[in-house]
């Protein structure tokens, strides 16, 4: 029997309990596996296996971001409404040019600063919005809100 191809991601985290609370809300499910210092979620849609390993010394800031591309405005609105209800939304953008594409999106940031975007792709763009590069790390620290990662 051939299993479908599924992407796997593994991230280091500082506090597993806080991480699990965030991802239970973000994924709207409990983890598939819970072991000392380890949790794993297996998502059907999108197809993803993601695990979290409690190793505070290995957590890295500014590694980029992760995301889900949805297929319709209705799907984006459903996910945005659910994330807002759970207090997970850190930023909403409409018609932004990010990663050389025009997109609508929202962002959520987990307890270790891993940024997630949930986005709807509209079309390719030759322009990448420079506002993603304008704020410094110092400004991020002063504002208390991390800058969205974009590309």
128 band by pLDDT with thresholds 50, 70 and 90? confident
Average pLDDT over all residues of the chain: 86
- Residues 107, 128, single domain; the answer is yes
The SS3 assignment for 127 reads coil
88-114: pLDDT as tens digits: 999 999 999 887 889 999 999 999 999
Is the pTM for the entire model greater than 0.85? no
* CA gap 25, 47 in Å, rounded: 18
- CA 110 to each of CA 1, 27, 116: distance values in angstroms, whole numbers, following the listed order: 36, 12, 8
87: domain range?
65-133
Does 148 map to a domain? no
The DSSP H or E segment spanning 11 is: strand 7-13
Number of folded domains in the chain?
2
75 band by pLDDT with thresholds 50, 70 and 90? very high
The DSSP H or E segment spanning 51 is: strand 48-54
């Amino acid at each position: 029997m051939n299993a479908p191809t599924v992407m796997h991601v593994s991230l280091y985290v500082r506090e597993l309990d806080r991480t699990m609370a965030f991802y239970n809300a973000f994924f709207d499910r409990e983890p598939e596996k819970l072991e000392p210092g380890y949790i794993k979620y297996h998502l059907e849609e999108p197809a993803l296996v993601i695990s979290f390993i409690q190793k505070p010394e290995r957590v890295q800031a500014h590694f980029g971001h992760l995301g889900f591309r949805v297929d319709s405005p209705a799907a984006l609105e459903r996910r945005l409404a659910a994330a807002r209800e759970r207090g997970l939304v850190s930023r909403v953008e409409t018609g932004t040019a990010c990663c050389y594409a025009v997109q609508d999106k929202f962002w959520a940031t987990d307890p270790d600063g891993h940024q997630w975007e949930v986005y709807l792709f509209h079309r390719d763009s030759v322009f990448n919005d420079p506002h993603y590069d304008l704020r410094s790390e110092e400004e991020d620290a002063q504002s208390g809100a991390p800058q969205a990662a974009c590309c």
